[in-house]
Amino acid sequence: MTRRSKSTSFPKAFRRTRGFVVANLLLWGVIGGWYGFQPESRQREVSRLVTNLFDTRKQISAFDVGRDLWQLYYGEDFVRGSPPGADTYFYGGVPQPSPGGAGPVRVLFNSGYAVGYSEALGNPLWVAYRLRDLDWQEPAPRPEEFRMDKRTAARVEPDDYTRSGYDRGHMAPNYGIATRFGRQAQEETFLMSNISPQKHGLNAGVWKTLEQRIATNYPGRFGEVWVLAGPVFAARPERLKNAWPCPRRSS
């Protein structure tokens, strides 16, 4: 029985592998034939996308490429936009506080991102940053320490999180900023004005996965991404030991 199981499993595995190879060859054959009839500007855009496929840091699959090409040029879901300026962090302008919200918002500008900070809550309300594929550089090692941001009146300290049950969660990501803007910008992501309380399962799970895709996959596929992220507070949020409220989640 064992011998028959082994002998029959090999042809099945071979057929699956052969099917995968054939599907990829067909996909690339279609893309290659279509590519030859495109204008030069579109060929440059497609060449960048296909080149990124072979850069393992950017975690792009062949099916990502095929789907993106279809959506970009023939689908109805993708909308190409024109940014308001090359040197801005904000695609659609600076976020405006809602009436009766968290009080005045202090906008702090850093090398790679901007943050809207609430002194009343001792917490960022939003961060905004832009990551371009062509700006990629190898990052320096991760900084070892978080730092109080002396520009803030709240003066939240890294130790305020000690034994709180919450991680120090980055809003503007260490890796994405480091790979585009260098060491100084990377260190600025460790300012406490960029930190929001996160449960470890979120910080080391889906949030980390999303940060990685924003830093690698999305710019590699679309050329650049504009990000606006921030916490969502419950009606009665939990608080750190120094009375800073903890968001329900980040988004």
pTM beyond 0.75: the answer is no
Distances (CA, A) of 13 to 8, 10, 16, 32, 74: 9, 5, 5, 28, 35
Domain presence at residue 235: yes
Contact between 211 and 205 (Cβ < 8 Å): no
DSSP secondary structure string, 90-158?
Answer: -SS----PPTTSSS-EEEEE-SS-EEEEETTTTEEEEEEEEEEGGG--PPPPPPS--B--TT-SS---G
Name, in order, each residue with C-beta under 8 angstroms of 161's C-beta and a sequence gap of 6 or more.
167, 168, 197, 240
One domain for residues 109 and 65: no
Give SS3 for 201. Answer: helix
Chain position carrying tokens 């699956």: 16
Domain presence at residue 98: no
Phi-psi region of 148 (alpha: psi -120 to 50; beta: other; left: phi over 0): beta
One domain for residues 118 and 62: no
Domain presence at residue 202: yes
CA dist., res. 156 & res. 98, Å (int): 24
Domain presence at residue 79: no
pLDDT in tens, the chain (251 residues): 545 555 555 566 666 777 777 777 787 777 777 777 777 777 787 788 778 888 888 888 877 877 777 777 777 665 555 554 445 788 888 888 776 666 788 899 999 999 999 988 899 999 999 999 988 888 889 998 999 999 998 899 999 999 889 999 999 999 999 999 999 999 999 999 999 999 999 999 999 999 999 999 999 998 889 999 999 887 777 778 766 777 765 54
The number of distinct structural domains making up the chain is: 2
Query: What is the CATH number for 167?
Result: 3.40.570.10
